Structure 1
Amino acid sequence: MTVFTGPARVLEALATPHGLDRYLELIHPMLTVRELRAVVTGVEHTTTDSVTLTLRPNRRWRGFAAGQFVQVAVEIDGVLWTRCYSPSSSAHRSDGQFQITVRAHEDGVVSRHLHAHARPGLVLRLTAPSGEFALPSTRPDRIVLISGGSGITPVLSMLRTLTDERHPGEIVFLHYARSEADVAHLADLRAIAEANRNVRLVLAYTRSEGGDLRGHFDETHLSEIAPWYAHDSQTFVCGPPALMSAVREHFAAKGIEDALHTEEFVLAPAAPVDGDATGTVSFGATTVENSGATLLEQAESAGLSPEFGCRMGICFSCTKVKTSGCTRNVRTGDLHTEPDQEIQLCISVPVGDVAIDL
């Protein structure tokens, strides 16, 4: 439910400082002028540790490209938490709804909450879809989709989108899981493969028997299931770091990196708390001793509440301007020394004195 009226901007100004949406949501949480919202219409536990939510977005929603992700925000005990999830449904779903599949991680505040408590009627806040991991507008004739664990969601969306488009080319879907019980959407995957003669479903189990393949990724897996993968085809892969690294190394060794497209949703490596960290960090009027932790963690430890989303370096919600000093990106090791430079707080650590414009 969305309000579109000519005087909306005037009402927004009158509603300052909270904004018109803050008042409209008191009437109904899906009643907004500017914000994207979605209501949960279906909840399905596809494995013991994952849940699939069907979401009906409001009229601000403009759809997504298969493979992209959205930021999903949910209020937990009075605190708004935001995480990134890829739609797992087809981009062409006829009812305007879409699905996300969430795996409950042991230390995942949002994933555990949604797994345990999501019910129809729950309203979530969204951002517009983003991300470059997506099918090209001209679909390749031959496609390999590789996933592992919860990385299945964006490539499953690609598979569903391609079959909805009646894509005539050859598609191989290779998924790695510990066992059959850990494969989300298994029934749907088998149904898609059965209904589409050009789709080959390959399941690789790393800790049990019964799959089409056994063990972790190996170059022989691709040679066996898609012998044409190195010629006139495109490969899309999303999964845990070990899988991603193995596939990247193999494609690099064969000199076909341009045929590989990757996406990974893993937490940025924890910044080592350097016992020799020096200097101070200034967040506007607040100055703290440099602990060696990320700038986001140091700001929160100082009692500040900067905006953040994924805490992975993906969504850029925590981007702020570093007015002076040097920072290091914990994912890449790159140093940023220029003044008035935008950095991501969640994956940046200070090197000596640093000033941030919050």
Structure 2
Amino acid sequence: MATPHQLDRYLELVNPMATVRDLRAEVTAVRRATEGSVTLVLRPTRQWKGFAAGQFVQVGVVIDGVRHTRCYSPACSEHRADGSIELTVTAHPEGLVSQHLYRHAEVGLVVSLSQADGVFLLPVERPEKVLLISGGSGITPVMSMLRTLLDEGYAGDVTFLHYAHAEGDVVYRAELADLAARHDNLRLLLAYTRSGDGDLHGYFGPGHLDAAAPWHADGQTYLCGPSGLMRSVREHFDAVGLGDRLHVEEFTPTLAPADDDATGEVSFTASGVTTDNSGASLLEQAESAGLTPEFGCRMGICFTCTAVKTSGCTRNLRTGELDSDPDQPIQLCVNAPVGDVSLNI
């Protein structure tokens, strides 16, 4: 009866939040606490199944008539009483969606939403001691972990170590200070890389770890932040034999560089577009050719950018593995063509 569209396409004309299948959320509060970031409170539709602290969701917004999707980690407790989700989005210079939300998000905005996903999680049986390390916008998943633990009445030692350029860049600074003052088992340390006003100064090093949590070898550490911070912490934990006690959220992907000696052509058959192979990821090459394939995280996590490779060989930019099987779904953001490749895009 609803042909040619699904029922939700008609319902959204009356009320965007009245859906049968689609999961959406309405913005109920907007706060811009720091320069270059916006915090949104979202009220999901009835299809929402909740999340676990540390997971991410895909948020979709329409910009100039095209829906764009990105991944963000809720910063609220997984036990939030009203069932809403809190997201803090940092407006990156070239971030289409983050810039749009920072500049234009307002109460009443309706966005598309996915169910929560991801394996950056606290164990069901909470550790006796927890060290949370974050940097920049990587604060959101570990902030969720902290809020969740405190809502559960967690009694173990917990240290929150956050890296930022300066005091004004810490999104949840006031709340963190208040939580530390109210909970004897919580220790807060702010490390500023461009200011000497913090509890610690400069970039991560073993001295920072010893100052923040001298017991870290007996606890579990959860880390999310820029690639430099992630690499330094991981290298230190591996060097001292504590790699199994470090749990990380890959905030940015570790990808192989583009192949400067790439040959062949990339054919986007559904669009009738063919372009010379530049060696970059298939997503980047599609965008350079003027196409707008859907994508979310650009990290190979969300599988939003999956498309069917009809022929040719591709290289996984994370693992280096080659795949020459035809008619296979592949992720555009983490695969590059090796020679001639055809995609059903």
TM-score range, shorter chain: over 0.9
* Matched residue type, 1:220: G
Structure 1 residue 271: Cα displacement:
5.6
Is the 8 Å Cα contact of residues 70 and 85 (structure 1) preserved in structure 2? Answer: yes
Look up the match of 1:86: 73
The secondary structure found in structure 1 opposite 2:133 is strand
Is the 8 Å Cα contact of residues 131 and 216 (structure 2) preserved in structure 1? Answer: yes
The secondary structure found in structure 2 opposite 1:131 is coil
Matched, 1:290 2:276: yes
Structure 1 residue 226: Cα displacement:
1.1
Is the 8 Å Cα contact of residues 290 and 350 (structure 1) preserved in structure 2? Answer: no
Look up the match of 2:248: 262
User: Could you state the TM-score of these two structures normalised by the residue count of structure 2?
Assistant: 0.94
For 2:44 and 2:102, locate their aligned partners in 1 and report how far apart those are by CA, in whole Å.
20
Structure 1 residue 302: Cα displacement:
4.4
For 1:98 and 1:303, locate their aligned partners in 2 and report how far apart those are by CA, in whole Å.
34
Aligned ranges 1:1-358 → 2 under 5 Å:
14-231=1-218, 233-266=219-252, 272=258, 274=260, 276-285=261-270, 286=272, 288-292=274-278, 293-358=280-345
* Matched residue type, 1:18: H
Structure 1 residue 355: Cα displacement:
2.7
- With over 3 angstroms needed to count, the CA separation of the structure-2 counterparts of 1:290 and 1:270, relative to structure 1, is farther
The secondary structure found in structure 1 opposite 2:181 is helix
For 2:292 and 2:3, locate their aligned partners in 1 and report how far apart those are by CA, in whole Å.
21
Deviations 1:3-23 (A, max 9, x none): xxxxxxxxxxx3244211111
* Matched residue type, 1:284: T
* Matched residue type, 2:66: V
The secondary structure found in structure 1 opposite 2:338 is strand
My pick for the range that moved more, 290-299 or 187-196, is 290-299
Structure 1 residue 163: Cα displacement:
0.1
User: Could you state the TM-score of these two structures normalised by the residue count of structure 1?
Assistant: 0.91
Is the 8 Å Cα contact of residues 173 and 199 (structure 1) preserved in structure 2? Answer: yes
Structure 1 residue 273: Cα displacement:
6.6
Structure 1 residue 95: Cα displacement:
0.9
Deviations 1:303-349 (A, max 9, x none): 54433222232211111233432212234433333444432112211
Look up the match of 1:4: none
Is the 8 Å Cα contact of residues 69 and 294 (structure 2) preserved in structure 1? Answer: no
For 1:246 and 1:78, locate their aligned partners in 2 and report how far apart those are by CA, in whole Å.
42
Give every structure 1 segment of 4 or more consecutive aligned residues whose post-TM-superposition deviation is greater than 6 Å: none
The secondary structure found in structure 2 opposite 1:230 is helix
My pick for the range that moved more, 220-229 or 323-332, is 323-332
* Matched residue type, 1:256: L
Aligned residues: 343
The secondary structure found in structure 1 opposite 2:32 is strand
Is the 8 Å Cα contact of residues 326 and 338 (structure 1) preserved in structure 2? Answer: yes
* Matched residue type, 2:17: M
* Matched residue type, 1:230: A
* Unmatched 5+ stretches in structure 2: none
Deviations 1:113-167 (A, max 9, x none): 1111111111111000000001111110100000000000000000000000001
* Unmatched 5+ stretches in structure 1: 1-13
Structure 1 residue 264: Cα displacement:
2.7
For 1:348 and 1:104, locate their aligned partners in 2 and report how far apart those are by CA, in whole Å.
26
Give the RMSD, CA atoms, in angstroms.
1.9
Is the 8 Å Cα contact of residues 281 and 355 (structure 1) preserved in structure 2? Answer: yes
Percent of counterpart pairs with the same letter? 61
Look up the match of 1:8: none
- With over 3 angstroms needed to count, the CA separation of the structure-2 counterparts of 1:227 and 1:303, relative to structure 1, is closer
